[in-house]
Amino acid sequence: MNAHAITFDASARDWNEALPIGNGFLGAMVHGGTIHEHLQINEDSLWSGGPMDRANPDARANIAQIRELLDEGKTGQAHALAERTMFPLTADMRHYESLGDVWFDLANTDGEISGYRRGLNIDDALGSMQCNVGSQPMNVECFASNPDNVIAYRMEYPAASKGRRGTEFAVRLSRQDTANGLAGRCDGITALDSNTIRLWGHNGGADGISYELVVRVVADKGTCRTAGAQVIVRGAHRVTVLIAGRTTYRSQDPLQWCKRTLDAAEE
């Protein structure tokens, strides 16, 4: 770690202690867990519904009278007229929502965790974690790529190349309320192939926003298979998890966009 870094000697106890990475529209809060790693994912165009026109149609016709009342010191009357003619017709605007959550459930946790350290290099926008699981070291790096439009999270077990067993873990998706831990809504979670899983949904009726969260797992010298809507990794020396997210605010077909983006990033 250099001087411009945020560091911790334990995993995040809550969202506020997670470390942020992002590329301008796609971001993650990385918790740094050693048993259950958690990445909370945001895509900045995901709202509870589609576009709204909240403008009061009577605003233009009444602005001059409101100004006159203010000039005359009749602030109470000005406020009452502004409240009727200038305030939005609907009380609430759309609400921003989290895209989803990526979880890694690690199997190699039968040894004591020691030497734990995680941090965020501010200069390079690179997150990292190092620890020992028993006598086996584990190194993690993660970042959000703007040119490639993905979040990349890599786990490496250096001792595996010397005959030690590689990593074993499952990758799964959810969409939860980070404020109270309740399960969030989505339309479905499924596997697309042996190393790719998908979470999707639609918000706000016919004019609303559809969203996709797609995760690709790339294992080095190991195997990937799906069980239900999870990717199971066994015996890998190094694993790279690529995360893409998109909404219909930006793409007509967000699923195809995510698949093309992940194909390019994996290549």
pLDDT at residue 184, as a whole number: 64
pLDDT at 153 over 80: yes
Confidence band for 158, pLDDT divided at 50, 70 and 90: confident
β-bridge mates for residue 156, sequence order = 139, 238
Output the six-digit token pair for 33.
Answer: 């867990």
User: Would you list the DSSP string of 80-114?
Assistant: HHHHHHTS-SSS----B---EEEEEEES--SS-EE
pLDDT per residue as tens digits for the range 237-267 = 899 999 999 999 999 999 999 999 999 999 9
pLDDT per residue as tens digits for the range 79-129 = 999 999 999 988 788 889 999 999 999 865 566 889 999 999 999 999 999
pLDDT > 90: percent of the chain: 73
Residues recorded for the chain: 267
Number of C-alpha atoms within 13 angstroms, CB side, residue 100?
25
H-helix or E-strand containing 64? helix 59-71
Query: Could you give the CA distance from residue 137 to residue 165 in angstroms, rounded to a whole number?
Result: 12
Closest CA to 102 of 174, 200, 23: 174
pLDDT at residue 160, as a whole number: 61
Q: Quote the pTM value.
A: 0.88
pLDDT at residue 183, as a whole number: 54
Confidence band for 134, pLDDT divided at 50, 70 and 90: confident
Going 146 to 125 to 173 to 230, the CA torsion angle's sign is: positive
Query: Could you give the CA distance from residue 181 to residue 258 in angstroms, rounded to a whole number?
Result: 27
